[in-house]
Structure 1
Amino acid sequence: MSTTNLNTPYFMISEDKLLANLEKAKQLKELSGVKLVLALKCFSTWGVFNIIKPYLDGTTSSGPYEVKLGYETFGGETHAYSVGYSEDDVKEVADICDKMIFNSQSQLKAYRHLVEGKASIGLRLNPGVSCAGQDLADPARKYSRLGVQADHIKPEVFENLDGVMFHMNCENKSADSFIALLDSISEQFGSYLDKLSWVSLGGGVFFTWPGYELEKLAAALKAFSGKHGVQLYLEPGEAIITKTTDLVVTVVDIVENEIKTAIVDSATEAHRLDTLIYDEPASILEASENGEHKYVIGSCSCLAGDQFCVASFDKPLEIGQRLHVMDSAGYTMVKLNWFNGLKMPSVYCERSNGDIVKLNEFDYSDFKRSLSQWSV
């Protein structure tokens, strides 16, 4: 199948790029002894899980449906976490998860009896320190509801607890920064950790980023694990799928109002929501840093400020030209929506042998069914 015959918009996942990240994950595991569980909140495209499975130990989730998806399509260890479980949520997943992590001591007290004997029980702790470039994504932000702060811990809780989870990073590209957080955790919670069998250090550790000091990270994880006598877990999401996937779009019009805008057949609000939420401009493969022709890459939604980025090109853009919005997998495909009734991108994977495999496609019936199935 040739990509020139594929209708835009579509996502294209590169198996080769995915494997390059996974080889780094494998190296980290071998050097440190850490186990890695894929964070489904970041990436849940289960059509490529067969590629990922040999490298990771399982999945971790933020809601009941993700728990089910990980259990059914990935296997290995299935970790269940939620900021706020209902009783029905706990009952729904208690029999299929290996670890159930509660966000608060009150939820732990209310529901642990539903889990005991079925899954290992954990509690999320908030160390009060973090590395996050955006306040919106900072787990240690003021008034954070995520996890139990050190001065709120009831020591007796740890007498019947198997493990804890910390999550305090967002795209942390520095091993030294992460090690400083590890030291803080050890100092604050060390006496509690010594009683446990496992500790998850969450996600957001960008160990696949070019130039990352992976061996330094591995040594620190191994030392931490030995010091407290625990099995360590990391919950990578972005680190596994970063730079693996392009969103391919087509220029459908070019308009001008002081600056030229190339309107494409996609929208950040519908297909690349984090671009809009975090005000982080996308990158276009065809763009040139010193190009003479400057364009806003504008969405086709009705939201006035909905645009992918401003980019320069060596040649003028033309209607019908395709553009590749790079690095469009993490926290993107999981957030797709039907705003404006825009066509949902199809999903493909380019295998290492060059074959193009269709993983999913959508049509009007999917849009209609998402809004109602019956009328009054």
Structure 2
Amino acid sequence: MQKSELKTPYFMIDEAKLIANLEIAKRLKELSGVKLVLALKCFSTWGVFDIIKPYLDGTTSSGPNEVKLGYETFGGETHAYSVGYSEDDVREVADICDKMIFNSQSQLAAHRHLVEGKASVGLRLNPGVSYAGQDLANPARRFSRLGVQADQLDPAVFETIDGVMFHMNCENKSADAFIGLLDAISDKFGTYLDQLQWVSLGGGVFFTWPGYELEKLAVALKAFSEKHGVQLYLEPGEAIITKTTDLVVTVVDIVENGMKTAIVDSATEAHRLDTLIYNEPASIAEACEQGEHTYVIGSCSCLAGDQFCVTSFEQPLEIGQRLHIMDSAGYTMVKLNWFNGLKMPSIYCRRQSGDIEKLNEFGYDDFKRSLSQWSVS
């Protein structure tokens, strides 16, 4: 199968780039003793789990369906967490998870009896400090519902749990910044952590970013683990799949209203939602920073402000030309939706051999089934 034969839009995962990230993850594990579980809320494309599984220790989830997916398709350790479990949720996954982490002391009290003897029990704590570029993604933001605050903790709860989870980072590319958070946690919760078996430090630690001081991070993680006598976990998502995947689109029209807009056969609201939510422009592989021809890369949805970016090119764009929207793996395929009834991107993987493997494709029947299960006369 040749790339030119593939109909856009589609995602193309590059196995070689994925392995390059995974080799960094492997090095971190070797140096620090930390265990790594893939955050399925970021990336759940299980068709490439065969590439990832040899490097990581399991998966972590944010809801029952992710727990089941991790258990069935990844294996290893299966961590279950949710901001709010129902009793049915807990019963559904208690037998297939290795660790169940509750978001509050009330959830822990209500449901732990359903888990005891089946899985290791944990509680999410909110350290009150964090590293996040936007308030929307800041777990320690004002009035946060995520985890138990230090001043609300009942010390007796630590006699009834095996571990805790902190999630306090979003795209933290600084080892020093993360070490500062580790020190704050140790100071505030250290006597409690000494009683536990394991501590998860969540995700958002961007240890595969170019220039990241991996050895410094590893030394800090190992010291923290030894100080408190716990097994440490990280929950990487973006760090594993960053820069591995393009969303490939085609220019279907070019319009002008004070500025040229190239309309492509995709949409941020349907296919790359975080671009819209966080107002972070996408990057186009074919673009040139000093190019003379500037375009809005606009979507084909009806939302007026739905655009990927404003960028420049050395040559004018043409209708029918393909563009590669880079770094499109994290929080994309897990958020795909059928807004406007747009064509859903297919998903492919380019293997190291050069072969292109189709992981999934979608059609009208998928769109129809997503809305109702019965036929409409």
TM tier, shorter chain? over 0.9
Distance 1:5 1:44 in 2: 26
Q: Matches of 1:197 and 1:174 in 2, distance apart?
A: 27
For 2:302, the equivalent position in structure 1 comes to 302
Tell me the distance in 2 between the aligned counterparts of 1:138 and 1:42. 16
**1:196-252 residue CA offsets vs partner (Å, 9 max, x unmatched):** 000000000000000000000000000000000000000000000000000000000
Shift of 1:374: 1.4
Equivalent residue, structure 2, for 1:262: 262
In structure 1, the residue matched to 2:134 is 134
Counterpart CA distance in 2 for 1:106 and 1:160 is 13
Alpha-carbon offset, residue 137 of structure 1: 0.4
Report how far residue 138 of structure 1 moved: 0.2
Residue 291 of structure 1 corresponds to: 291
Q: Which runs of 4+ in 1 moved over 4 A?
A: none
Tell me by how many angstroms 1:358 deviates: 0.1
Q: Which amino acid in the other structure matches residue 348 of structure 1?
A: Y
Q: Which residue of 2 aligns with 1:57?
A: 57
C-alpha displacement of 1:152: 0.3
Q: What are the within-5 Å matches in structure 2 for residues 28-67 of structure 1?
A: 28-67=28-67
What displacement does 1:117 show? Answer: 0.1
Distance 2:135 2:292 in 1: 36
Q: Compute the displacement of 1:176 (Å).
A: 0.1
SS in 2 for 1:266: coil
Aligned to 2:252: 252
Partner SS state of residue 177, structure 1: helix
Matched to 2:24, the amino acid is: K
Percent identical: 86
CA distance in 2, matches of 1:301, 1:79: 37
Tell me the distance in 2 between the aligned counterparts of 1:269 and 1:110. 37
The SS at the match of 1:144 is coil
SS at match of 1:170: coil
In the aligned structure 2, how far is the partner of 1:254 from the partner of 1:221?
Answer: 51
Paired position in structure 1 for 2:362: 362
Partner of 1:154: 154
The reply on whether 1:105 has 2:105 as its aligned counterpart is yes
* Deviation, structure 1 residue 97: 0.0
Give the equivalent residue in structure 2 for 1:239.
239
Matches of 1:160 and 1:270, distance apart in 2: 44
The Cα offsets for residues 53-74 of structure 1, whole Å up to 9 and x where unpaired, read as 0000000000000000000000
**Structure 2 SS opposite 1:124:** strand
**Matched residue, 2:22:** 22
Given the two structures, how large is their TM-score scaled by the length of structure 2? 0.99
Cα distance in structure 2, aligned partners of 1:309 and 1:375: 40
Which residue identity is paired with 2:18?
A: L
For structure 2, the 5+ residue unaligned runs are none
1:345 aligns with 2:345: yes
Aligned to 2:86: 86
* 1:246 counterpart letter in structure 2: D
Instruction: Give the Cα separation in 2 of the matches to 1:285 and 1:327.
Output: 10
Alpha-carbon deviation of 1:375? 5.2
Structure 1 unaligned spans of 5+: none
Q: What one-letter code is carried by the residue in structure 2 that aligns with 1:287?
A: A
Residue of structure 1 equivalent to 2:71: 71
Aligned length: 376
2:156 counterpart of 1:122: no
Q: TM-score, normalised by structure 1?
A: 1.00
How much does 1:367 deviate? 0.2
Shift of 1:19: 0.3
